[in-house]
Amino acid sequence: MDVIQQQGLTLLPEYQERYLKDLLANVYRTEQVPELDEEGNPVLDAEGNPVMKSVPRGIASMSPLLGQPQFERKIDPVTGEPMVDASGAPVFDETKPIYRRDSQGNLILDVRGQPIQEVKGGVPRPDVMPLTPAQQQAIQLGIQGIGAYAPLMEEAKGTYESGVGALDDSLGRFDPRGQIVYGYDGEPIMDVDPETGASTVRRVGGYKDFYDPFVEEVIDTTEQDIQRQATQERARQAARAVGAGAFGGSRGEIAEQEIQRAADDRKARTGAQLRSQAFTGAQQQAQSAFENQMKRGQTGAQVFQGLGTAQAGLGQLAQNLGYKDVQNLMNVGGIEQQQRQAEYDVQRQSAIETAYEPFQRFSYMGDIFRGVPSTQQSLSIGSAPRQNVLGSTIGTAMGLGSYQQQYGGGQSILGSMFNR
């Protein structure tokens, strides 16, 4: 079986071919330009010809997202003027990058603290807006506010402990002799009698502090009244004895002695009773004063404890208010940061669209090219194996022989060829 190979070539019209070549050349091509030395002069070969190098051109020669890093101009050390190359283009010193600065002239640093180089064109890299002054102030206030409640808590602790101490003092037991007075060293204070030199523990609030100093005068007056009554009774007894004619007898003496003994007993009972009443009254007053003092101490303890709790609450309130200020500052700064971030993102998106605009334009032109009707020319080239001449001849002869037998009835051409 014969195999035929065929190749086809479609040719565009000349105007379309020229259009497509121009389109592709603007996308990517290379140009030969002279190679320059550090001074901006062309580099020459041994024959004095400039050394050429291939430089990619076109919009696809570099990423549309990347810009051109900026460097300082090279300065001619002789003239002090900026240097240019042979074509008049400025020459830059790639060892001296230009860095970005803020409105105050300060270097702008990245997250690692490194200066950011100025780039011409391209698309800004994805970035997060730094903390605003309000957020930074909020952070500083938050740091400073940590433990700000401590002084108030210490004052509250001292006040509360004072209340506890006052409460302990108010839980003492009543001593009729009075409460012992202690010095700053915690030891009882001793009083020395200047006459005897005897030392006694100083006490306050005992019954002696409330004992009526006029009790003895009352007792003396009462005893005098009793004695006066006894004298009057003896006088009446003597008068009765005289009237009975028994004055001066033993019975009269016994009666007078009995009257005096009764008076002495009465004076003793009255004095003891008055002293007992005075002591009991003094003791009751001392105990009442002690209880009142304890109540006042308990009330004072409650007041101190309440003040301590209030001071602790003030410390917590101050801490909470400080945190609210921090939160408010952080919220305000967050709004400002979000706005800056949104503006930066919009600018970056716009830069991306601008960077890709040439590609979109060429894609649009490519779409136009594909939509233009054209009359294409096709050129086909075919090839087949060489034929067997003998076989072809025999086949032809056999065909002719069959034809003669069918229509001529004579000898076939093939037979005549071999019978000669």
Look at residue 241 in the predicted model and tell me its pLDDT: 67
Task: Judge whether 231 and 262 are in contact, CB under 8 Å.
Answer: no
Cα 280 to chain centroid, rounded: 71
Q: Tell me the two tokens of residue 258.
A: 């009995």
Give me the tens of pLDDT residue by residue for the chain, a chain 420 residues long: 556 667 767 777 777 788 788 877 777 778 787 887 777 678 888 898 989 888 777 777 777 787 788 999 989 888 889 988 777 888 888 889 999 998 899 998 887 788 988 888 778 778 888 888 888 888 888 888 877 777 877 777 777 777 776 666 656 666 666 666 677 777 877 878 888 888 877 777 666 776 677 777 777 888 788 888 878 877 777 777 666 655 555 666 777 778 788 878 887 888 788 777 877 777 777 777 777 777 777 777 777 777 778 877 777 787 788 888 888 989 998 999 899 899 989 988 888 888 888 888 878 777 777 766 555 555 555 555 555 544 444 444 444 444 344 434 444 433 443 344
* Phi, psi angles (nearest 5°) of residue 172: -75, 165
Task: Judge whether 37 and 419 are in contact, CB under 8 Å.
Answer: no
Look at residue 252 in the predicted model and tell me its pLDDT: 64
Task: Judge whether 403 and 397 are in contact, CB under 8 Å.
Answer: no
Q: Tell me the two tokens of residue 260.
A: 């005096």
Task: Judge whether 388 and 395 are in contact, CB under 8 Å.
Answer: no
Look at residue 375 in the predicted model and tell me its pLDDT: 54
Residue 378's beta-bridge partner residues?
10
Write the CB contacts of 404 (distance below 8 Å, at least 6 apart in sequence): 410, 411, 412, 413
Write the CB contacts of 203 (distance below 8 Å, at least 6 apart in sequence): 175, 177, 178, 179, 180, 181
Q: Is the dihedral of CA 255, 261, 263, 266 positive or negative?
A: negative
Look at residue 396 in the predicted model and tell me its pLDDT: 42
What radius of gyration, in Å, describes the C-alpha atoms of the chain?
66
Closest CA to 340 of 351, 352, 348, 329: 348
Closest CA to 361 of 144, 64, 9, 158: 64
Look at residue 342 in the predicted model and tell me its pLDDT: 92
Closest CA to 159 of 300, 302, 305: 305
- The residue whose two tokens read 């808590």 is 153
Residue 179's beta-bridge partner residues?
204
Closest CA to 32 of 51, 60, 55, 58: 55
DSSP annotation of 5: E
Direct distance between the N- and C-terminal alpha carbons of the chain, in angstroms, rounded to an integer: 34
d(CA 34, CA 44): 9
Look at residue 99 in the predicted model and tell me its pLDDT: 94
pLDDT digits (tens, 9 = 90+) for 315-332: 778 778 888 888 898 999
Q: How far is CA 292 from CA 120, 171, 211, in A?
A: 90, 12, 18
Please report the DSSP string for 241-258 in residue order.
HHHHT-TTSHHHHHHHHH
Residue 381's beta-bridge partner residues?
7
Q: Tell me the two tokens of residue 99.
A: 């860095």
Mean pLDDT taken over the chain: 75
Cα dihedral value 311, 312, 317, 319, nearest 10: 120
- The residue whose two tokens read 């940061």 is 337
Task: Judge whether 170 and 297 are in contact, CB under 8 Å.
Answer: yes
Q: Tell me the two tokens of residue 81.
A: 């003027």
DSSP annotation of 114: P
